[in-house]
Structure 1
Amino acid sequence: MTAPTREAPPAAVPAPAEKHEPATTRRLLGLLRPYRAKLVPMALLGTASIVLNLLGPKLLGHATDLIFAGLVGRSLPANASEEQVLEHLRADGKDTLANVISTVDVTPGQGVDLRALGVVLAVIVALYVVGSLCMLAQGRLAAAVVQHAVHRLREDVDAKLTRLPVSYFDRNPRGEVLSRVTNDIDNLQRTLQQTIGQMINSVFSVVGVLAIMLVISVELALFVLLSVPVVLALATWISKRAWPRVQQQWKSTGELSAHVEESYSGHSLVKAFGRRELAEERFDEHNEALYHSGYRAQAFSGLVAPTTRFVTDLNYVLVAVVGALRVASGAVTIGDVQAFIQYSGMFSRPIIDVSNFSGQLQSGIASARRVFELLDEPEQSPAPASPKRLASVQGRVEFSDVSFRYLPDEPLIENLSLAAEPGQLVAIVGPTGAGKTTLGNLLLRFYDPDAGRILLDGVDTTALTRADLRSRIGLVSQDTWLFHGTIAENIAYGRPGATRAEVVEAARAMCVDRFVRALPDGYDTVLDDDHGGLSAGERQLITLARAFLAQPAILVLDEATSSVDTRTEALIQQAMVSLRAGRTSFVIAHRLSTVRGADLIVVMDRGNVVERGTHAELLARGGFYARLHSA
């Protein structure tokens, strides 16, 4: 089977209305819902890691107090109590020093308690080691969750592509579709990998740090909280203005991918017609558009991090100054201020981290929106609830009052009726745009008619499943669609499980064997991007062999001999005499020499049947067919 061709592809239609960013974010989070069993332990591990790391600064502050108390106590007389030392200092007018000393447990004449200090430091090291191990385990779980979610998303997209109607691929460039399936999903995966664990940790870290800061000093905690509304307001303002630029960046990426795919798949034609400069100019235009959209998106998103860091740094200075004043007043210890300054940095760090990857997060959401747009595309009409099944197919095909148009205001086929009896060779001829190829597409249900019915052995084709219907029809179009693989595999594609002998038999019937035997690897020759050096006519012969190997009840040959020379065409006509025995065959052709032996020639013009008959009958009438023949 080969890809269908269309005479009048429908024009592009507007994309679905843009979804709001919150809706896309909620749907993106929904991808992770099936993995709650891993998300819960991941959150617990993150929480444990954060709690253990949060205890570190408090214990370090305690260690600082031990050192300070030892240094002060060593300089004091051993025979005096702490209360006496404080009274003496106040009497000398040294109230500030007295206030500072009063915040710690000083033993006059005694130095640093190394044993107590060693225990505190050992506990700190243990906390950080265990916290790091928890963070490592959380990272592994996050990686597993993201990979599973994206793996499932790719499966959903692949399944969606098989359910989309042919019209979707007609109106969307192939490179644009590929960009959504590859670039956007890869970008979404990177975003989830970088942000899923970080977002969870940031939330728990902010809450935990705030709780500890309130315990140490409510006043200092309020100073820290003053910066939060400012940071959030700045980040929100910048993010809202960066969002449309990020969307444009990925739209430009899709347009560039579509142009590259088109240019390189048709590079021989580009060179043959001397259009390399035009192709390069268009590439430069798309590349320039991507450069500007990407620059604007990243530059604007990049404002978030330095802006928030500036605010948090100012707050850091304010906390240090106010903390020093609180120590001088005896309200808190030096160790508490040291810990508080560390907590202030820990409180700001998640906000800064979120700001740093906000650009990546927006980029991922923009990619997610493009993937979800693909998943939300209308699908082809569903199969009937109770489909009919044809035990055997005689091959009678009837078009009954069929009407069809690609665009609502541009009629193509109107009230067409046509019947092909079993075993008949029906040729459909006419000028370009007459609707010839469309008939084949309607028969295969690549499209459904707007009105009327198409019957196969008296059964409406819409009552059959598409798979059942298409298994009865062999299609060879003017596009020689070959897959990466050997020549034998390409022929056997028409009937899975076919033996090598059956493949060779079909190849001989379609004049393929004669040139395949001359190749170094014969039927095991691998066809790659350049199709193994085969000519267009040889590739077309392989597609013919593929269709005939399938042994279909009905053949649709859409300009199947347009790429072969006249000698090969004559050989194919001879082979078709025996191969179409018992089969209904439709031959769509411009070259009238290929239809002279047809049982019925149907002449179409502007979607209507204008003449019917045999070659001789139509020539004798001197009508439209005769004018085509003499042209």
Structure 2
Amino acid sequence: MSTAVAEPAAAEDDLLPPAADDQDIPVPPGAPRALLGSLLAPHRRRIAVAVLALLLQQAALQAGPLLVAVAIDRGVPALRDHDAGPLVAVTAAYLGCALLATLLQRAFIRFAARINQDVLLDLRGRIFRHAQRLSLDFHERYTSGRIISRATSDVDTLRELLAEGLQELLMVFLSVGYITVVLVVVDWRLGLAALVSFLPMYLIVRSFRRRSQQVYRRSRTVTAALIVRFTETMNGIRPVQAFRREAANEEAFGTVNRQSATATADGLLEMARYVFLSRLTANVWITGVVVLGAFLVTDGSLELGVLTAFVLYLRRLYDPIDQLAMFLNSYQSAAAALEKMAGLLAHEPSVPEPAEPAALPAAAGKGREVAFRSVSFAYADGKQVLPPFDLRLPAGRTTAVVGATGAGKSTLAKLLARFYDPTTGSVTLDGVDLRGLSTDDLRAEVVMVTQESFLFSGTVAENIAVGKPDATRAEVEAAARAIGAHAFIAALPDGYDTDVRKRGGRISAGQRQLVAFARALLADPAVLILDEATSSLDVPGEQAVQHAMRTVLAGRTAVIIAHRLSTVEIADRVLVMDQGRVVEDGTPAELVAGEGRFATLHRTWKDSLV
């Protein structure tokens, strides 16, 4: 069974969802931590090896000051007695530790880099797959620019943390742990004096974390708004230039840009404040410990080499404070980004896949019966678009739906395509509730062609074959011939192998519509929905499509939503909708002969042709 990919449904002819706040979606408690855990879980062994390498690297690195103390207190006196052995041994040990630390750090970086890239590869894939799974109502409310921001700038922020920040954090904690133990063991008096400094350092770190967290959350939101504004302007560049919106857009972009600059500056100021306070505290404490150590050396209770090692260890203890600041800087930004990505990935589709999909019965012909049973539909805020109604569309018949803008026509089509689920009641296909069908089965049976004839980058043949990926070239050409598109395709520079470029910009709107028709027909659906699908065609093009449609739609269940009454004439049945209700129902001839809304619309259309 072929799988057809439905095109994005246009909402110009229907009631759009109420204007929604396009801010970031709520984040369930614990979702960021759960996301990070699921990303790292497959790499537990490699993480363990990397951590072991870092532990050994820090042990080798932190042995340096102790060896310096031994050299001063033991090696130098022995050298005065013409015994160079101890000093040579200590020097060799120092160089050996330095070399070992370098090799172990290289091993750690290699493991960390591989883990980092695998995690980011997994994360980007998850975001892309999940964004495609999310229902149409989500994409109508949550702009594509924000999704792009999640998969690009937010992922890059997390990459910076994984690539550099975590290594710095681990090194800081390991070095602090090693040095703290050594300081207390070497001399408990100076060790305790140094440990007291941890209290003001902790308060400084805590204050920075709390203040910067708010700054970086705001920064990630503003960054997403920048991408949204830029993407929206570039995607709509033709109306922007046609209606001279450049100045207004520049002003709007400038506002968001200034907000971004302010958020970035606030983050830098917070970091500067942190670095100033931490360095001031460190320098004051080092001075105090050196003075205390000097007194201990002069009264003979402390060796000079031990004091030297102590000073070296103190520098190593406090120097990572700046690294910790950089980590906290990266961490706050990455935490905000991870929070937003976790919110996106935790958002469930409003049109979910059934846990146990039902099987459709074998079709008696090309079409299938569609039934709306006590169906009503309202948006999330409770605003009702379709009041409760019942409707049966017999298999193999073509039904046209007409009515004023906002009458509910496109919502009816979206319910049939299961872009939305009804608020109450059910929509069935040969008696099977659409909610019970797998997405693959549903998209193979029901295909919608909209007035937005979206084409993907690639050749004409590839765009037609979207409806049936395993189609042969002969099948692709047969579909194009049936819809009347073969002539213009053959006239293109490379025929069916012509690259249509971004969004099909190389061919006209009417030609894109014909390719979209060929795509849908190649999918061979049982139910075909045409939502203003001929709106981009000129009169000759529309007539050609209508001629082809009479043959192609024969035997299928078809729903045609149109303003052009010329398209409606090929229907077996016409439904006239008003404010979500079906107010007229009959054949085109019966309704034209009457005195209702359709007859009035038909007379107006006829008069417009004269």
With the shorter chain as reference, the TM-score category is: over 0.9
AA at the equivalent of 1:44: L
Write the distance in 1 (CA, Å) between the matches of 2:511 and 2:432. Answer: 37
Change (3 A) 1:313 1:26: farther
Worse-matched range after superposition: 403-412 or 327-336: 403-412
1:349 counterpart = 2:319: yes
Secondary structure at 2:502's aligned position in 1?
coil
- Tell me which residue corresponds to 2:519: 546
- The residue aligned with 1:564 is 537
Moved more, 289-298 or 443-452: 289-298
Kept after mapping to 2: 8 A contact 1:216/1:336: yes
Asked whether the equivalents of residues 457 and 503 of structure 2 are also in contact (C-alpha less than 8 Å), the reply is no
How far apart, CA to CA, are the structure 2 residues paired with 1:262 and 1:353?
39
1:2 aligns with 2:7: yes
Aligned residues: 592
Given residue 578 of structure 1, which amino acid in structure 2 is its aligned partner? T
Q: Secondary structure at the match of 1:368?
A: helix
- Which range is displaced more, 378-387 or 121-130? 378-387
1:133-175 deviation per Cα after TM superposition (whole angstroms, max 9, x unaligned): 1111111111222222222223332332233222111111110
1:462/1:29 Cα in 2 relative to 1: closer, same or farther (>3 Å)? Answer: closer
Q: Which residue of 2 aligns with 1:140?
A: 110
Alpha-carbon distance between aligned partners in 1 of 2:31 and 2:442, rounded to the nearest angstrom: 40
Task: Tell me the CA shift for residue 412 of structure 1.
Answer: 0.7
**Cα distance in 1 between the residues matched to 2:112 and 2:469:** 41
Q: 1:298 is matched with which residue: 241, 261, 268?
A: 268
User: Are 1:399 and 2:369 an aligned pair?
Assistant: no
SS at 1:419 equivalent = strand
Counterpart of 1:160 (choices 125, 130, 146) is 130
CA contact (8 A) 1:401 1:414 kept: no
Output the CA distance in 1 between the equivalents of 2:172 and 2:38: 20
Matching of residue 390 in structure 1 with residue 361 in structure 2: yes
Q: Quick check: 1:302–1:359 contact (8 Å CA) kept in 2?
A: no
Q: Does structure 1 residue 373 correspond to structure 2 residue 343?
A: yes
* Matched ranges for 1:182-581 at <5 A: 182-379=152-349, 380-392=351-363, 394-529=367-502, 531-581=504-554
Counterpart residue type for residue 63 of structure 1: A
TM-score, normalisation: structure 2: 0.93
Measured after TM superposition, the shift of residue 62 of structure 1 is 1.6
- Distance of 1:525 and 1:357 partners within structure 2: 50
2:69 corresponding residue in structure 1: 61
Listed as ranges, the gaps of 5+ residues in structure 2 are: 1-5, 605-610
Range with greater deviation from structure 2 (291-300 or 472-481): 291-300
- Change in Cα spacing, 1:384 to 1:224, as seen in structure 2 (3 Å) is closer
State whether residues 454 and 504 of structure 2, in contact with CA within 8 Å, keep that contact through their aligned partners in structure 1: no
SS at structure 2 position matched to 1:357: helix
- Specify the code of the residue in structure 1 equivalent to 2:422: P
Question: Match of 1:28?
Answer: 36
Indicate the SS of the match to 1:611. Answer: strand
Contact 2:275–2:322 (8 Å) recurs in 1: yes
Distance 1:325 1:479, change over 3 A: same
2:226–2:257 CA contact under 8 A, matched in 1? yes
Distance 2:38 2:7 in 1: 38
- Whether the aligned pair in 2 keeps the contact of 1:429 and 1:602 (CA below 8 Å) is yes
Give the 3-state SS of the residue equivalent to 1:485 in structure 2. coil
Residue by residue over 1:73-121, the C-alpha shift from the partner in whole angstroms, topping out at 9 and shown as x without a partner, is: 5xxxxxxxxxxxxxxxxxxxxxxxxxxxxxxxxxxxx35x323212211
Q: Distance in 2 between matches of 1:590 and 1:395?
A: 25
Check the 8 A contact 2:31/2:339 in 1, yes or no.
no
CA–CA distance in structure 1, aligned partners of residues 35 and 173 of structure 2:
20
Q: Letter of the aligned partner of 2:281 in structure 1?
A: V
TM-score by length of structure 1 reads 0.90
In the alignment, the residues of structure 2 paired with residue 365 and residue 547 of structure 1 have an alpha-carbon distance, to the nearest angstrom, of 44
For 2:528, the aligned partner's letter is: L
Please give the root-mean-square deviation of Cα atoms over the aligned residues, in Å: 2.0
Identity %: 34
- Could you tell me how far 1:26 is from its partner in structure 2? 6.9
For 2:28 and 2:189, locate their aligned partners in 1 and report how far apart those are by CA, in whole Å: 43
| Residues 270 and 500 of structure 1, relative CA distance in 2, 3 Å threshold | same
What's the offset of the Cα at 1:19?
Answer: 6.5
Aligned partner of 2:578 in structure 1 is: 605
Instruction: Report the Cα distance in structure 2 between the residues aligned to 1:23 and 1:496, rounded to whole angstroms.
Output: 37
How far 1:270 moved relative to its partner? 1.1
Answer 1 or 2: higher relative contact order, Cα 8 Å, separation at least 6.
2
Q: Deviations over 1:231-262 (max 9, x none)?
A: 11012112211111110111011111111111
Structure 1 residue 390, shift from structure 2 partner: 3.0
- Separation in 2 of the partners of 1:17 and 1:609? 38
CA distance in 2, matches of 1:255, 1:176: 7
Q: Confirm whether residue 12 of structure 1 aligns to residue 17 of structure 2.
A: no
Q: 1:289 to 1:470 in 2, by over 3 A?
A: same
Measure, in 2, the Cα distance between the counterparts of 1:373 and 1:141: 29
> Structure 1: 5+ residue runs without aligned partners?
74-109
Larger Rg: 1
Cα 1:27–1:443 change in 2 (3 A) is closer
Q: Secondary structure at the match of 2:528?
A: strand
In structure 2, the CA distance between the partners of 1:335 and 1:502, relative to structure 1 (3 Å rule), is same
AA partner of residue 283 (structure 2): D
- Per-residue CA deviations over 1:249-301 (Å, capped at 9, x if unaligned) read 11011111111111111111111122122222211121112111222123223
1:621 is displaced (CA, Å) by 1.6
